[in-house]
Amino acid sequence: MAEYKLLGKDYSTPDMYAKVTGRSRYAEDHRAEGMVFVKLLVSPMPHARVRSLDTSAAEALPGVEGILTADDLPEGNEPNEAALTMEPRYEGEPIVAVAAVDEETAASAVELIRIDLEPLPFVLDPLDSLRPDGPNARTDGNTMRGRELGEIKWTEADMAGLAPGEIPMEAEAGAEWAYGDLEAGFAEADTIVEEHSYHQSLSHQCLESRSTMAYWDGGKVYVYPSVQSTARSVGPMARFAGVEPADVVLINEFTGGGFGSKGSGYLQAQIPILLSKKIGKPVMMRVTRRDETSFGKARPGVQARIKLGMRRDGRITALDVHTIGDGGPYGRSGDHMNLGSIGSLAYQPVAMRLRGTGVYTNTPPRGAQRAPGGEQSMTMLSPIIQKAAKQLGLDQVEVLKINAPEGQAQFGAVGRTGQRSIVSSAFVKEAIDKGAELFNWSERVQRSGQRNGSTVTGIGVALSTFSAGASGVDGLFVIKPDGRMYIQSGVGPLGTGSTFDMMRPAAEGMDMPWEKCEVAWGDTSRHLPWSCSQGGSSTAHAHTRSNWAAVLDARQKLQEIAARDLGGSASDYEVGGERVYRRGNRSQGLSFARAAQRAIELGGRYDGHELPEDINGMTTASATALAGQGLMGVAKDNFEEGGRRMSFVAGFAEVEVDVETGTIRLVDYAAGCDAGTIIHPRNFGAQVFGGAIQGFSIALSQKWVYDRRWGLLVARKFYSNRPPGILDVPHEQPMRWVAADLPDPFNPLGAKGIGEAAQGAASGAVVNAIADALGQEDGDFFRTPVTRDMILTQLEQAPLGHDRLTPHV
């Protein structure tokens, strides 16, 4: 394995001091001359039509600067949401925005608005909408049929013989794919498990909400949002503002979490942007926790019927899945279909069929959340696999290994080319083995079912996988005559550290001490390059590639300069120790500082006056602005691709379940990872553990609760929604991780991302550990979160008050 000076080493990221001292400025910390504040009138009903709206009294209130309604917005784009609407399709959907000199005045003005709403039928449970004559969440349909809004209703014949809360396996589905011979797979199986399963919807619960400030100056719009991606948010902001991307300045140096909900901007930023344009003053919109829960996106819940066949040796011979995705009222979520692709990768079933329908409901709009569909896949499939393995008396770890993908494994549907997708690499068995060793699986598993007083021990393992890299973006840096290296990062500062971590490969490649590197980030006026989305665990792979491409460019330029000044050909020179020098003779060469000066003198491509043609326009603009300042490394990543980059995590959990109180205590968690070369171990661990903590709350606590009669969310506070906190993490011994640390062959440094895959391994392992503790009769829940009431009622065989698939209880 390659020896690196920077990669694989811990260091403190440049934003850390500001964060721990409270000097970091988040969206709502910004101020501008004459700034006013926005408050929102939101829908109090799950689905309604505004019959009349009178804002005159609000506008007459002293201090009110202006209002924005749906009339002020550009034409909508169904089935997507608009920033303001006259037909709200979920409780909390914004209808009117009011700007005033302060928030108190704005809120008082909102109360003066006279609004008359006509209630419309609403849907909370996708299954209600699919039933014959069931209501639709939208007046124009309940699902997308291809590219059109349409309707799917199951027939009376489909429903015949089914109990409430059951899914007909063969009823019409919105989409379907299959490979292999499913029938033969089930025939070959030695055991078949068939279950209904429910996965809850989840708010992202980022600690920072999507507050946004905006103003217009000199034809440009200045936006201060809370987004994940920097470069990738410019385009959407430009669309919201109705300007060209070049006329957007985006300032966002710190973001308090995104988890997919703030990927590349968000529609609500349009409110301050357009209000500011309308009234000619800077507008700040501070978004409350309540509003963030309403319109800050959420993970789609999934209801499924799953049938799995397993051979005596543990091999999964057939997997048949029918999923219903809870899509909220807008857009088109693919989580319920992604669930199948990810399952097919993790377990490589010999034959598989996936049928799925995304159904609109009058609940918050859905979007990507950490491993969208992938986490649901692992959380829902893991206990089914465990059940089958237990029926056959097999070791759970061995079952995961026998089904594990290897190398450039295939997955998902057969594509248009007649081929299935492949991955760039998979070292899954290595990751499982290392994790099992770290967790001491073979000994720990002996404790399964041991009772101590009223508590029972359970041991669980689960595998997860998800996307781990993009490609084709640009790298950009300048070595200046001061001898320092200025690396431009268009990656977003959402808290993962990759804004900086993924710039380290540029320093590594140039053999520059990190202390002599400066990273420009978080402000597009600082000339940032086109970057990948800061989401989907894309950056580790994408920006090791892009920065390595820029490194190769800069090295070539340095060698050429040296040859020009010192004689010989470029290939006679090499780069290291902040110098370019003749091979074998370090003293004959130029320092980087001197070479940078020479690059400016030479101009052309050396200092950025001539640029590669294949880089993105944003990079061209930024590089042009930086031209003439030193030796520029600038290039597009054109490295070879070997398939979809996917990372893998095997999660191992021990729980203690108290059968008298239903309390589940998480005793220990460890993870074994395959995520290529590790760039920054401390941040890698933070992703593994952070993902695990979110996984714990999926397994154990976080959920919405909706009143069924009124269609309103009643568990909307932090404490009632129950996202995870640090006190819910195992604390007797720290969580641990280990990695296969084997490089991905299709990345110059072998890197892949880790954040996405980290979650489902933990939720799956915990759910499995609970079932392991209680045994099949009492411990099979096939529903998350597994809460105290579920355990107690199941143990006492008492009624729970709802079906297994009922959402939001």
Partner 1 sequence: MAVIRDVIPQLELFQPTSADDALALLAAHGSDAWVYAGGLDTLDWFKDRVKRPRVVVDLGGVESLREIRSTGGGVELGAMARLTDVINHPDVRSQFPALAYAARSAASPQIRNQGTIGGNVSQDTRCWYYRDGWTCYRAGGNICYASPPTAMNREHCILGASRCVAVNPSDTAPVLVALEAEMVVRRGASERVVAAEDYFVGPEIDIERMTVLEPEDLLTAIRVPSTWAGARVYFEKVRDRDTWDFPLVNVATAIQDSGGTIQDARVVVNGVAPTPVRLTAVEDALRGQARNEQLAERAGNIAIQGVSPLTHNGFKVNLLKNLVKRSIRDEPMSV
> Residue from 577, 725, 734, 745 that binds partner 1 (CB under 8 A)?
725
The yes or no reply on residue 728 touching partner 1 (CB under 8 A) is yes
AA letter at 139: T
Residue 705, judged by CB atoms within 10 A of its CB (0-12, 13-18, 19+), counts as middle
CA 235, CA 241: separation in Å to the nearest integer?
Answer: 10
159 vs 800, beta carbon nearer partner 1: 800
279 vs 715, beta carbon nearer partner 1: 715
297 vs 722, beta carbon nearer partner 1: 722
> Residue from 402, 595, 700, 805 that binds partner 1 (CB under 8 A)?
700
AA letter at 208: E
* Nearest-approach distance from CB 39 to partner 1, in angstroms: 6
Residue 483, judged by CB atoms within 10 A of its CB (0-12, 13-18, 19+), counts as middle
- # residues contacting partner 1 (CB under 8 A): 59
Place of tokens 């930024």: 622
The yes or no reply on residue 115 touching partner 1 (CB under 8 A) is yes
394 vs 664, beta carbon nearer partner 1: 664
Binding mask 450-469 for partner 1 (x = CB under 8 A): ----x---------------
Residue 802, judged by CB atoms within 10 A of its CB (0-12, 13-18, 19+), counts as middle
Residue 462 has φ and ψ, to the nearest 5°, of -150, 150
* Nearest-approach distance from CB 282 to partner 1, in angstroms: 19
Q: Contact region for partner 1 (CB under 8 A) — 39-47, 386-394, 429-437, 734-742? A: 39-47
Q: Contact region for partner 1 (CB under 8 A) — 134-142, 630-638, 746-754, 782-790? A: 782-790
> Residue from 51, 114, 312, 451 that binds partner 1 (CB under 8 A)?
114
Binding mask 630-669 for partner 1 (x = CB under 8 A): ------------------------------xxxx------
The yes or no reply on residue 112 touching partner 1 (CB under 8 A) is yes
User: Which segments of 360-498 are extended strands (E)?
Assistant: 410-414, 420-422, 451-452, 455-467, 474-479, 485-488
Instruction: Kindly report whether the peptide bond that precedes residue 785 is cis, defined as omega within 30 degrees of 0.
Output: yes
* Nearest-approach distance from CB 237 to partner 1, in angstroms: 25
* Nearest-approach distance from CB 113 to partner 1, in angstroms: 4
The yes or no reply on residue 709 touching partner 1 (CB under 8 A) is yes
* Nearest-approach distance from CB 725 to partner 1, in angstroms: 2
Q: Show the tokens assigned to 762.
A: 């933990």
Element (H, E) at 637: none
> Residue from 1, 160, 163, 726 that binds partner 1 (CB under 8 A)?
726
* Nearest-approach distance from CB 792 to partner 1, in angstroms: 4
512 vs 809, beta carbon nearer partner 1: 809
> Residue from 22, 146, 219, 801 that binds partner 1 (CB under 8 A)?
801
CA distances from 40 to 28, 81, 239, 564, 643 (A): 16, 16, 22, 64, 45
- Find out whether 299 and 331 touch, Cβ atoms under 8 Å: no
- Between the CA atoms of 559, 561, 562 and 565, what dihedral angle is there, to the nearest 10 degrees? 160
The yes or no reply on residue 110 touching partner 1 (CB under 8 A) is yes
The yes or no reply on residue 12 touching partner 1 (CB under 8 A) is no
* Nearest-approach distance from CB 795 to partner 1, in angstroms: 8
Beta pairing partners, 463? 650
CA 638, CA 615: separation in Å to the nearest integer?
Answer: 10
Binding mask 569-608 for partner 1 (x = CB under 8 A): ----------------------------------------
Nearest Cα to Cα of residue 226 among 204, 201, 206, 247 = 206
The yes or no reply on residue 802 touching partner 1 (CB under 8 A) is yes
> Residue from 178, 552, 715, 742 that binds partner 1 (CB under 8 A)?
715
The yes or no reply on residue 809 touching partner 1 (CB under 8 A) is yes
The yes or no reply on residue 697 touching partner 1 (CB under 8 A) is yes
110 vs 251, beta carbon nearer partner 1: 110
Q: Contact region for partner 1 (CB under 8 A) — 60-68, 73-81, 153-161, 713-721? A: 713-721
543 vs 703, beta carbon nearer partner 1: 703
User: Which segments of 327-482 are extended strands (E)?
Assistant: 351-359, 410-414, 420-422, 451-452, 455-467, 474-479
CA 657, CA 639: separation in Å to the nearest integer?
Answer: 50
* Dihedral angle sign, alpha carbons of residues 251, 257, 260, 261: negative
Q: Contact region for partner 1 (CB under 8 A) — 99-107, 311-319, 349-357, 610-618? A: 99-107
Q: Contact region for partner 1 (CB under 8 A) — 77-85, 139-147, 416-424, 791-799? A: 791-799
> Residue from 29, 104, 148, 244 that binds partner 1 (CB under 8 A)?
104
Question: DSSP state, 447?
Answer: G
598 vs 808, beta carbon nearer partner 1: 808
* Nearest-approach distance from CB 33 to partner 1, in angstroms: 23
503 vs 664, beta carbon nearer partner 1: 664
* Nearest-approach distance from CB 686 to partner 1, in angstroms: 18
One DSSP character per residue, 704-762 reads: --EETTTTEE---SHHHH----GGGS--SS--EEEE-----TTSTT-B---TTHHHHHH
Q: CB-hemisphere CA count at 13 Å for 463?
A: 35
- Find out whether 68 and 39 touch, Cβ atoms under 8 Å: no
183 vs 789, beta carbon nearer partner 1: 789
66 vs 505, beta carbon nearer partner 1: 66
> Residue from 108, 556, 591, 629 that binds partner 1 (CB under 8 A)?
108
- Find out whether 399 and 190 touch, Cβ atoms under 8 Å: no
13 vs 697, beta carbon nearer partner 1: 697
57 vs 414, beta carbon nearer partner 1: 57
Nearest Cα to Cα of residue 770 among 400, 404, 386 = 386
Helices (H) and strands (E) counted in the chain, each on its own, are 23, 34
The yes or no reply on residue 701 touching partner 1 (CB under 8 A) is yes
The yes or no reply on residue 62 touching partner 1 (CB under 8 A) is no
Considering only residues 272 through 291, tell me which ones interact with partner 1, judged by CB under 8 A: 288, 290-291
The yes or no reply on residue 39 touching partner 1 (CB under 8 A) is yes
* Nearest-approach distance from CB 793 to partner 1, in angstroms: 5
Residue 795, judged by CB atoms within 10 A of its CB (0-12, 13-18, 19+), counts as middle
391 vs 787, beta carbon nearer partner 1: 787
The yes or no reply on residue 720 touching partner 1 (CB under 8 A) is yes
User: Phi-psi bin for 79: left (phi > 0), alpha (psi -120 to 50), beta?
Assistant: alpha
Coil, strand, or helix at residue 768?
A: helix
AA letter at 601: E
Q: Contact region for partner 1 (CB under 8 A) — 345-353, 542-550, 620-628, 725-733? A: 725-733
Coil, strand, or helix at residue 162?
A: coil
CA 369, CA 386: separation in Å to the nearest integer?
Answer: 25
Residues that bind partner 1 (CB under 8 A): 39-42, 44, 103-104, 106-108, 110-115, 288, 290-291, 454, 660-663, 697, 700-701, 705-710, 714-720, 722, 724-728, 787-789, 792-793, 795-796, 798-802, 809
